[in-house]
Amino acid sequence: MPVLSNSILLEEINVACFLVPLGEAIVTTAVQKIMEKKEKQAELHGIQQTGLSWSRKLSWLNRLLWGGVLLLAFEHLWHGEIVPWLPFLTAMNNPADMASMFREIATVGTGMAIFVTTAWAMMVMVADGKTKALSAATAKNKA
Amino acid sequence: MYFLMTLTAAVVATVAWYVNAPDDKYKLGLLSSIFWGAALMWFIDHVMACLTEGGEFFETTADAALLGVSVIILGSIAWLVTLLISDPKGVFAELLKR
């Protein structure tokens, strides 16, 4: 089928890519909850946390992922690629569209998840570096 | 267009967060994260579309602009709902006491 316009082209490449970040968000939210519990238990046992906690770091990733997923889901709804009734994804009605959908999920969706996670990893590295520098400065001032 | 509009909203929300930081009483960090998350994802989406299909990077149609405005409104509503539920000023607690 010939591509008629750029907007159609963008819709074609966009079928259900947000499902990968959605899956990642579900997993990282569960991991964050587990980490929160572990950190609370460690605190109860008198173990002091040094630096930024993992639950806090993961909360940044979760905010990025859930925020992105919410707005992308709305965009897909706007373009008619998802519907509020079963099977939710309009591409599921046609086997040819399904193949395209799975390809887009594998390429664009995975790309999105990797890019957001990389941006978050860089944020964490910078924040950890700053926390260590602050701790070192505080220790120097005390000595 | 909606990518650029979301990116602009992310920058504005981040500036507003930084002006008030380290205090984040009104959860502006959450608002900027919502817009940054979407902007990062749409960036990849647009890059992939350009690389694979050779289309234009920015859509400059009225529909794309309207989608951009709608996306910013939806992101703001999500932030507002979270803010009102957490009620950092204790407004609802005060109102319920009366």
User: pLDDT above 90 covers what percent of chain B?
Assistant: 79
User: pLDDT above 70 covers what percent of chain A?
Assistant: 90
Q: What is the pLDDT of residue A90?
A: 82
* Domains of chain A by residue range: 18-90+113-142
In the structure encoding, which two tokens stand for residue A20, read together? 């990968």
Query: Chain B: residue nearest A15 by CA?
Result: B45
pLDDT confidence band for A103 (50 / 70 / 90) = confident
Query: Residues in chain A, how many?
Result: 143
Alpha carbon separation from B92 to B19, B23, B87, B96 (Å, rounded) = 26, 21, 7, 6
Rg from Cα positions in chain B: 17
Interface test with A, best of B42, B45, B73 (most A CBs within 10 A): B45
- ipTM of this model? 0.92
A18 touches chain B (CB under 8 A): yes
Rg from Cα positions in chain A: 21
B2 touches chain A (CB under 8 A): yes
A125 touches chain B (CB under 8 A): no
* Chain CA centroid to CA A58, Å: 10
- Whether the bond between B22 and the residue before it is cis, its omega within 30 degrees of 0, is yes
Q: Which residues of A touch B49 (CB under 8 A)?
A: 9-10, 13-14
pLDDT above 60 for A136: yes
Backbone φ and ψ for B55, nearest 5 degrees, come out as: -80, 180
Interface test with A, best of B1, B14, B44 (most A CBs within 10 A): B44
Nearest to B38 among A10, A68, A111 (CB): A68
Give tens-digit pLDDT for A15-69: 788 899 999 999 999 999 999 999 999 888 887 777 889 999 999 999 999 999 9
Distance of residue B98 Cα from the nearest chain A Cα, in angstroms = 35
* Domains of chain B by residue range: 2-97
Calculate ∠ Cα A74-A78-A79, nearest 5°. Answer: 120
Give tens-digit pLDDT for A3-15: 334 444 444 445 7
Give tens-digit pLDDT for B32-70: 999 999 999 999 999 988 888 877 778 788 999 999 999
Q: How many CB atoms lie within 10 A of CB A54?
A: 17
Q: What is the pLDDT of residue A43?
A: 84
pLDDT above 70 for B27: yes
Backbone φ and ψ for A89, nearest 5 degrees, come out as: -100, 120
Q: Which residues of A touch B74 (CB under 8 A)?
A: 70-71, 74
Task: Report the C-alpha gap between A126 and A43 in whole angstroms.
Answer: 25
Query: Chain B: residue nearest A16 by CA?
Result: B45
